[in-house]
Amino acid sequence: MLASAVLITGVAGSGIPAHALDPAPGVSDLIHDIDQILSDSRLTMARAGVVVRNATTGEELYTLDSGKLFAPASNTKLLTSAAAMETLGADYRFSTEVLSKGRDLYLRGTGDPTMLAADYDALAAKVAASGVKVVTGRLVVDDTWFDDVRLGTDWTWDDEPYYYAGQISALTASPDTDYDAGSVVVSVAPGDGPGKPAKVTTTPDTDYVKIVNKAVTGDDTDVLVERQHGGNTVVITGTVAEQYDEWVAVWEPSLYAASLFRKGLAAHGVRVIGSTVREATPSGAKTLATRESMPLSQLLTPFMKLSNNMHAEILTKAMGRKVSGEGTWSAGLAVTTAFARANGVGTLRLRDGSGLSRVDGLTPSGITSLLIAAKGKPWFPAWYDSLPIAGQADRLVGGTLRSRMRGTPAAGNVHAKTGSLTSVTALSGYVTSADGEPLVFSILTNGYLSGAPRDLEDRIAVRLAQFTRSAPVDAAAGTLRAETPAETPQGDDLECSWRKPVEC
């Protein structure tokens, strides 16, 4: 599975490197070292694709299976986020409105993932301030900006209760400023004594989910929090010795948002007599209150640093709505695909915007072409800054790389997107060499049976940070070798940001 060190002009996708004849010693050493890293026994039965290129000229320094399709996991978000910046614009904002017509009150959304319970309360306060005291009709939820397909194609059934696979709707709510749209935090704490019932609370405080508490206070914490399929009953079992938090995806986020808004109306003295229903807002309705989100350029930070799946899917549908008037996955993915092909990504297959689908396919060559093309875009600085940065402890700076490559030349240098699913790991992004040469790289690995071999990705990234075209020859080893990076957590197949409450 190693790239041949024979210095010939290669064939795209063949596994043969496309290096110029007689490369500088530093390039030859780089090829040798990456080959050595990829000789790890964990990859014997796996597939790995690796491309390293100069970020300015596009020159290939290393290539292995560059044109073959790999499951990219969350590396898909590189395409989605770049397409969103190009299509929607850095200043794009989601809006949420409250309108009235006749006896009814309408809550209309466009997919804002940053809406918190406090934001729905603020909208309710504006309604009250407008003079509304009683709504004699219904509270109408208008989520028609998007279609009503809530879950992505190919998403697995056992992911459905978890917040990283939350349902997608034009009206939704998040429990915190990570903006995990369509979820609620269920907190389980010790009760009044051993064997006594645990104490359960939710964030936000809501009765939209029904809690069935079977957990008790014990000497250790071993809690299972499960939302039952097809509804919002959450069953809690096990023992708890210290507080345990679980982020749970709700069933039907539009009605979840409506319940928070209705609660806010009541708190501000507005009585709604009728029921909550889902319909489109009629023409001629009067706007009573509006709330706009932060611009997309700012939303990129929690989206990319924390690898937020829901942001990717919401933006995908938002692109479809803008370009074709259809807030659907198919319309949005058509936009992303067209953008990708216009920016050097020739071969790809997209089924969602986040990479949660195992049918998504990207090539290492295509990803590096995108990374090079992005450098010429006016939105590039904000997009580049949104990528996780190796070894930076702040979770909204280092993101999913905050615990990786610490104490190495890659720390604070590598800006890259991670990707993880069972038997899938990926790392693609930017690094500056020891000579100050800007490089792009993509490492996609599929089909391993061990724990995720992310340490190999880290060793390659560190080696690239050490790269120099005029590397001195080590008399003992014969060439410059990559330093061993700081310890990288192994054995987990999910993005670290998906394993709440554990941080990256």
Chain centre distance of CA 119: 23
| Residues 345, 310 within the same domain | yes
pLDDT at 361 over 90: yes
| Residues 225, 341 within the same domain | no
| Residues 81, 227 within the same domain | no
Burial of 221 (0-12, 13-18, 19+ CB in 10 A): middle
Residue 439 domain-assigned (yes or no): no
The answer to whether the beta carbons of residues 418 and 433 sit under 8 Å apart is: no
For 380-389, the pLDDT digits (tens) are 999 999 999 9
| Residues 325, 374 within the same domain | yes
Query: What is the reported pLDDT for 503?
Result: 53
Query: What is the reported pLDDT for 335?
Result: 98
CATH number for 60: 3.40.710.10
Query: What is the reported pLDDT for 24?
Result: 78
| Residues 159, 308 within the same domain | no
What is the pTM assigned to this prediction?
A: 0.92
Q: Catalytic pick from 307, 369, 386, 442?
A: 307
| Residues 139, 288 within the same domain | yes
| Residues 213, 254 within the same domain | no
For 28-66, the pLDDT digits (tens) are 999 999 999 999 999 999 999 999 999 999 999 999 999
Give the model's confidence band at 231: pLDDT under 50 very low, under 70 low, under 90 confident, else very high: very high
Angstrom CA distances, 5 to 30, 35, 465, stand at 10, 8, 21
Residue 344 domain-assigned (yes or no): yes
77 catalytic per annotation: yes
Paired tokens of 248: 């749970």
pLDDT at 322 over 50: yes
Mean pLDDT of 96-123: 98
For 415-467, the pLDDT digits (tens) are 999 999 999 999 999 999 999 999 999 999 999 999 999 999 999 999 999 99
| Residues 41, 29 within the same domain | yes
Residue 1 domain-assigned (yes or no): no
For 259-303, the pLDDT digits (tens) are 999 999 999 999 999 999 999 999 999 999 999 999 999 999 999
For 157-187, the pLDDT digits (tens) are 999 999 999 999 999 999 999 999 999 999 9
Q: Which of 24, 12, 80 is nearest to 317 (CA)?
A: 80
| Residue range(s) defining the domain that contains residue 336 | 25-88+298-415+451-498
Q: How many domains does the chain have?
A: 3
Residue 199 domain-assigned (yes or no): yes
| Residues 280, 166 within the same domain | yes
From 230, 247, 264, give the residue that closes a domain: 247
Q: Which of 172, 169, 150, 147 is nearest to 159 (CA)?
A: 150
307 catalytic per annotation: yes
CATH number for 119: 3.50.80.20
pLDDT at 365 over 70: yes
Q: What is the DSSP string of 176-210?
A: STT--TTEEEEEEE--SSTTSBPEEEEES--SSSE
| Residues 274, 327 within the same domain | no
For 387-407, the pLDDT digits (tens) are 999 999 999 999 999 999 999
Neighbours of 232 (CB within 10 A): 21
Q: Catalytic pick from 66, 68, 77, 169?
A: 77
Query: What is the reported pLDDT for 472?
Result: 58
Percent of the chain beyond pLDDT 90?
87
Q: Which of 115, 180, 46 is nearest to 452 (CA)?
A: 46
| Residues 337, 475 within the same domain | yes
- Cβ-proximal residues to 378 (8 Å cutoff; 6+ apart), any chain: none
Mean pLDDT in the chain? Answer: 91
The DSSP call for residue 15 is S
Query: What is the reported pLDDT for 230?
Result: 93
Query: What is the reported pLDDT for 25?
Result: 80
Residue 445 domain-assigned (yes or no): no
CA Rg value for the chain: 25
| Residues 483, 464 within the same domain | yes
Q: Catalytic pick from 66, 74, 259, 369?
A: 74
Residue 20 domain-assigned (yes or no): no
